[in-house]
Amino acid sequence: MRRTDRLFELIQILRDGRLHRATELAERLEVSVRTVWRDMATLMASGMPVEGERGVGYILRAPITLPPMILTPDEMEALRLGVRLVAEGADPSLARGARGLAAKITAVMPAPVTGDPAMDELFVFSPGESQRAAPHLPLLRRAIRVKERLSIRYLDMEGRETHRDVRPLQLEFWGKVWTLAAFCEARGDFRAFRVDRILTLVETGETFPDEPGRGLRDYLARVSSDAPHP
């Protein structure tokens, strides 16, 4: 069984909300207990609401499925367009997720949909800037999630190469360009970096704490105060 299939199967088992010991999971998946330990560590690191430890067992503390809902035609069209935007985007991991979501949407739609489940009648153009940003997006999203400092080599608007240590806070997409909102350690202030101008990203392995004046809320408050008012 491939690792991705194994992780999916583990999630399906844990969805019953009961405590499962690693030995039980190993028997069901026909793998070693050590493999289960590694897989569970991966699920926890990815943000899954799984709790447990070796020798005790593992349990899913929160549901990971959406409750049934009824969407209006406009809401469904908005969902389909959003999925297509991501599926045709540059971030490979999100694109795979969007294609899987598109297939699930198609399976539950009241009327049959012919052709590509990612919605053939919708077209999205992904510009060169997005393509150049693509290799950095998975690492940036992970660093934002775990609050890890990054060291970047960056090409500024005048073509000069600079080196910065930053606290990544938020990715923003402007229809053509991805930007990274971050707190720059060297400048001691917030900065926005165009992701397509990042030359290299280096993981430092250092996490940063929540500190007043340096977090996402502070950045958003700054942006809001700087925005022009009618």
> What domains, with CATH codes, occur in the chain?
3-60 (1.10.10.10), 73-125 (no CATH), 130-226 (2.30.30.520)
Q: Would you say the C-alpha torsion 17, 18, 22, 23 has a positive or negative sign? A: negative
Query: Which of the four pLDDT bands, split at 50, 70 and 90, describes residue 114?
Result: very low
Distance separating alpha carbons of residues 35 and 187, to the nearest angstrom:
44
pLDDT at 86 over 80: no
pLDDT at 115 over 60: no
Distance separating alpha carbons of residues 101 and 107, to the nearest angstrom:
10
- pLDDT given for residue 121 in this prediction: 42
Question: Of 59-63, 90-94, 179-183, which gets the smallest average pLDDT?
Answer: 90-94
pLDDT at 107 over 50: yes
In 49-162, where does DSSP find H-type helix? 73-87, 92-108, 128-133, 137-146
Mean pLDDT computed over 196-208 = 94
Mean pLDDT rounded to a whole number for the chain: 81
Higher pLDDT: 7 or 126? It is: 7
- Which backbone phi and psi does 123 adopt, to 5 degrees? -125, 135
Does the reported pTM lie above 0.75? no
Distance separating alpha carbons of residues 109 and 104, to the nearest angstrom:
9
Higher pLDDT: 8 or 26? It is: 26
Edge-to-edge strand ranges of the sheet holding 148-155: 189-194, 178-184, 161-173, 148-155, 198-207
**52-89: buried (b, 16+ CB within 10 Å) or exposed (e) per residue?**
beeeebbebeeeeeeeeeeeeeeeeeeebeebbebbbb
Distance separating alpha carbons of residues 209 and 86, to the nearest angstrom:
31
